[in-house]
Amino acid sequence: MNYIELLFTTIFQEDYQQDLLMNALAEAGCDTFEELDFGFKAYMP
């Protein structure tokens, strides 16, 4: 299966802000997330 990879470079002051964005992306269809030092990657089938 092919996936679309989305790279998010984030500068949030609070961890919950990134969690809110990841939850919104999950509702939009992203099913896998990879946290990085400077943000995260989201994958959508």
Question: What range does the domain containing 27 cover?
Answer: 4-44
Q: What is the mean pLDDT of residues 23-27?
A: 98
Number of domains in the chain: 1
- Which residues touch 21 (CB under 8 Å, ≥6 apart)? 8, 10
Is residue 5 scored above 90 in pLDDT? Answer: yes
| 44 bridge partner residues | 4
State residue 13's pLDDT score.
87
State residue 15's pLDDT score.
84
State residue 1's pLDDT score.
85
Name the average pLDDT for the chain: 95
In angstroms, the CA 43 to CA 14 distance is 23
Q: Nearest Cα to 44, choosing from 19, 7, 13?
A: 7
Matching residue, tokens 């961890």: 15
Q: What is the mean pLDDT of residues 13-40?
A: 95
Q: What does the block give as tokens for 13?
A: 């002051």
Write down the pTM of the prediction: 0.85
